[in-house]
Amino acid sequence: MTKELAIVGASGHGKVIADIAEQLGYTVRFYDDAYPSKKNIEHWPIYGACEDLIASSDGQAENAVVAIGNNDIRAEKISLLQQHNFTLVTLIDPSAVISQYAKIAPGCVVFPGAVINAFASIGKGCIINTSAVVEHDCKLGDFTHICPNVALAGGVSVGSKSWLGIGSQVKQLVSIGGNSLIGAGSTVIKNIPDNVTSFGSPAIVVTNNK
Ligand SMILES: CC(=O)SCCNC(=O)CCNC(=O)[C@H](O)C(C)(C)COP(=O)(O)OP(=O)(O)OC[C@H]1O[C@@H](n2cnc3c(N)ncnc32)[C@H](O)[C@@H]1OP(=O)(O)O
């Protein structure tokens, strides 16, 4: 029997998610709020906006994943789908390496080559992007985005909705607050508070996002 999966968000990120989902045996259907001005992505048709997906649902726990990189919008769409009884699927690329002792909440995507080690815990709706490393005992809040090639050493914590830019690295046991942004290529060696943008090596706070 084929498994069906609605993907909300027809973007580059969505294409990677569709590829992973198909490898896992799903038949995918894209939805995007740019519909009807946008009607397809690559060879996949777009079936409607997110509200069309909800309207067409029979309330019988259909599978869905949200493929939107923006943490706030992803959180909003996931909450909406949960309110309408969709099943939030977590997709893990077959090439990712996940410890038997790691915990990953629903609605996450784990991209090719990522590693999540023992006793790491990943909150709801997170993106663990290509070749990111989440070491042992890390704790990631809901709706975080860990970009490609990020390396989190052991015991790092990241608050909800934070975004760690491509190639950034974080020293062991460092804590990054919620809703903060770490710039591409940064090296984080000290705790970072909530609601700030930081970058550089070592990373320093450059903007308060409140
Ligand atoms: C699969 C995927 O594609 S996933 C997506 C991956 N993308 C990323 O990781 C992007 C992460 N984004 C960044 O690093 C961005 O540069 C941000 C968000 C930190 C800053 O963006 P902006 O606010 O637009 O800053 P802007 O580009 O105007 O730069 C402002 C200054 O900060 C510096 N700067 C910006 N980002 C960084 C950085 N990561 N490291 C060091 N310096 C930086 C710039 O050189 C510039 O300096 P100047 O004023 O002396 O010229």
Q: What is the ipTM of this complex?
A: 0.97
CB distance 120 to 134 below 8 Å: yes
Q: Is 88 within 8 Å of 67 (Cβ atoms)?
A: no
Pocket test for ligand 1, best of 199, 201, 208 (most atoms within 8 A of CB): 199
Instruction: Give the DSSP letter of residue 86.
Output: P
Instruction: Enumerate residues 6+ apart whose C-beta is below 8 A from 55.
Output: none
Per-residue pLDDT at 2 exceeds 80: no
pLDDT tens-digit map of 45-79:
999 999 999 999 887 779 999 999 999 999 999 99
Rounded to an integer, the average pLDDT of 8-21 is 98
- How far, rounded to the nearest angstrom, does the alpha carbon of residue 115 sit from its chain's CA centroid? 14
pLDDT of 46 reads 98
Cβ atoms 134, 157 nearer than 8 A: no
Nearest CA to 5 among 94, 104, 102, 109?
Answer: 109
For ligand 1, atom 15, the nearest C-alpha belongs to: 183
Per-residue pLDDT at 128 exceeds 60: yes
User: Can you say whether the dihedral through the CA atoms of 53, 57, 59, 61 is positive or negative?
Assistant: negative
pLDDT at 61: 76
CA distance 47 to 43: 13
Ligand 1 atom having least distance to the Cα of 185 = 39
Which residue, among 83, 92, 125, has the nearest Cα to 25 in the 3D structure?
Answer: 92
Measured from the CA of 145, which atom of ligand 1 is nearest? 4
Question: Which of the 8 DSSP states describes residue 9?
Answer: -
Catalytic choice (13, 43, 84, 136): 136
**Residue 1 predicted with pLDDT over 70:** no
User: Could you report the per-residue pLDDT of 99-117, keeping only the tens digit for each?
Assistant: 999 999 999 999 999 999 9
166 CA closest ligand 1 atom index? 9
The set of protein residues with a Cβ atom below 6 angstroms from ligand 1 is 129, 147-148, 165-166, 181, 183-186, 197, 199-200
Tell me the percentage of the chain whose pLDDT exceeds 70.
Answer: 99
Question: According to the model, what pLDDT value does residue 59 have?
Answer: 73
Among residues 189, 129, 181, 114, which one has the least CA distance to residue 156? 189
Is 43 labeled as catalytic in the residue annotation?
no
